[in-house]
A and B are shown apart, each in its own frame.
Chain A
Amino acid sequence: MQNLDTYIHSLSEKNIAPEVLATYNSLDIPNKKMEDWKFRDTQDWFQGAYNFSPASILTSRDVKDSIADISYDALLVFENGLYKSDFSQPQHIQLEDRKKSSETDFVNKLEVANEICAQDGARIHVSNSESSQHILIASFYSGADTYAFQKNTVYIESGSQLTITEIHISLSNSVRVNHALTIHTEEHSSCEYTTVHSLHNDAQFIQHVRIQQEAESKATYATFPVSGKYIRSWVQVDKVGEQAHTHLNGLFFPILKEHCEQYIFVNHLSPSCETHKLYKGLANDSGFGVFSGKVYVARDAQQTNAVQTNKNILLSDTAKIHSKPQLEIYADDVSCSHGSTTGQIDKDALWYMQSRGIAYAEAIQLLLSGFINDVVQTVSIESVRERIRTAIVHKL
């Protein structure tokens, strides 16, 4: 057991690019004084004592039980960030070697820590694939006080397409995960990536997602933090080519003392790009949710069309959701809109339903299922959709 700083400095220096280590050392620990961390300190992520190399305990039974309901063309299984070839069925998916990066553009110290510590992850490269396959990534986290790192990279070559679902599953309570994902879509390619978290109520998860889109590519990223004590997702999309289209969707539902944060930044750097952002939040008990979405439009990104929507329903007096939609526009010929609403369950709708003979509890179920429906419906794989729907309805 050791803390993150000690662990990083114990890693053999030849495995770490000096620029990256220098960046790590120069950055402050994310804390509440920083705008994007005002709801959560991360001291414990750096100073708490954890096990960075836990023994493997994953069994084929665990894998089977966790993904039996989901259909896929290829399966990649990870445990605490390490590839488990015994349980995987990569078929003809091209898996690349981990490349050492000397990249120094990181959003915070945790993202650098991931770059330094992640040894493994799904590194998918797709070319000449016109028919979309569904790759399922099952990422397990196990052991007591485990601190796991994983970095997935997805590269879609020109004209290809791919659908990926990643399910994060904890097998024990006290795990902590630092996860990163990069997606690159070349011209005319398309990628749909869906993330589902099924974590224990003491498990914590921080994720950084970077999506880079070339001209006329399509990217869809959706996140469904179904359960976990603390789940934070940070997404940045850079549209470097014209007519790059992006759909970003999310549904969060913190209950009890769960805490869930979504930070989404979309940079329109080229003309004629389109972005649709739809995030919905439900919160019950003392659940805490954060949505912070920003649409940036550079001076040259004329004819940008961006729609940003965040709708939240609070189901108790003690639940909280903070919503911060932002627009930063430097081009003059654009269409950008944002809407944010946070309220309670629609009493008129409840009354209407009751007057038709739909009992109160059932009316609430129907209303909330209706509320989440459009977000869930954006997932193209039916079995994944059903998995998400069942998990959310179970929480109602």
Chain B
Amino acid sequence: MKKIILFASIFACLFTACEDDDNDVKIQNGDFQPKSEAVILYEGSYGQNNSDLSEFHKGVISADVYYQANGKYLGDTGNDILEVGDSYYIAVNGSNSVVKIDDDTYKEQARQVVNQPRYLASDGKYLYVSTYESKVLKLSLADLSVVAEAKTGAYTEGLAIEGDYLLAANSGWGGGNTVSVINLKSFETVQEIEVPYNPTSLMATGKGTILVKTTAYTADYSSAVSTISSIDVKSQFAVSTVAEASHMTLSADGNYVYFANCMPNYTAYTYQTSFFKYDLGKKEVSKDPVFANDSISTMLSGISLYLFSVNPKNGEIFIGTSDYLTNSALYVTDKKGNSWVRYSDAGGVNASKALFD
């Protein structure tokens, strides 16, 4: 009997209590309360059908607002979002869909089948969609019907509009080095601009230039470096190198581009993320930091950056992290980068875009 009691005691020792210790979901310094009203798109994980939107309202994040409004899921890998008029347009890459939803109720208004849609742009008259089928589609804003298409290079990614031109980045799955120039009036590709290899993101500065991000991998694919180049639309699409950075966003006044460069260290499994300003007028890196408070730069230097946006109305900076598997964390700072708030859950996996009201 003693043996059995002893055995039972040891048996029980295998099961010591296991407590759930819930961490705070929101941490902040000072009494800063973000004023932004925003909607955040999260891509989800590939093959998991877990892309959706969260709403940022009065400093509180509400997740899965598309699902809450429609009772069904948005789909797999929402890659880009755009607001035109009273609607949001979303390119849902895995689900081969472009979706139009009401920007107030999030109710779905239209869903159009488009094979592997990637990025969106609009001139207020039509919606333009890049696809992996080597073309850019022109869609009706009202019902998403396809109006026209323009031939581009392989694996087309980012889009940006400047004047009468729509530019499309031809990534070539890493092997492309061109940006297609589409004339919006004829909706035909009129020129191919040579840029560094693997162009993915494009951003119009509003000052006659378009910035293009290109990413080069090392020969053994162990690391990658991203470079930002500027395409001057008014100077026959001349290309010049701007900076080394993985993310970019325009400042609220439109005079600066905020850059971030997130570099992983594959040995220590850490990140080194730096932030800096680029003066569009002087065409040089500004001496002023993005964050006036150094401790914010220090705090953010170790994050795995995925979302980087400035609210054009009040200058608040939104910074999202990603581990590709679990929900992103979100940092919001004030315009000058003096105070911050951290939300441990931005609503979903791979929060990538923020649109502001």
A binds B: no
Residues of B within 8 A of A (CB): none
Task: Mark A residues whose CB is within 8 Å of B.
Answer: none
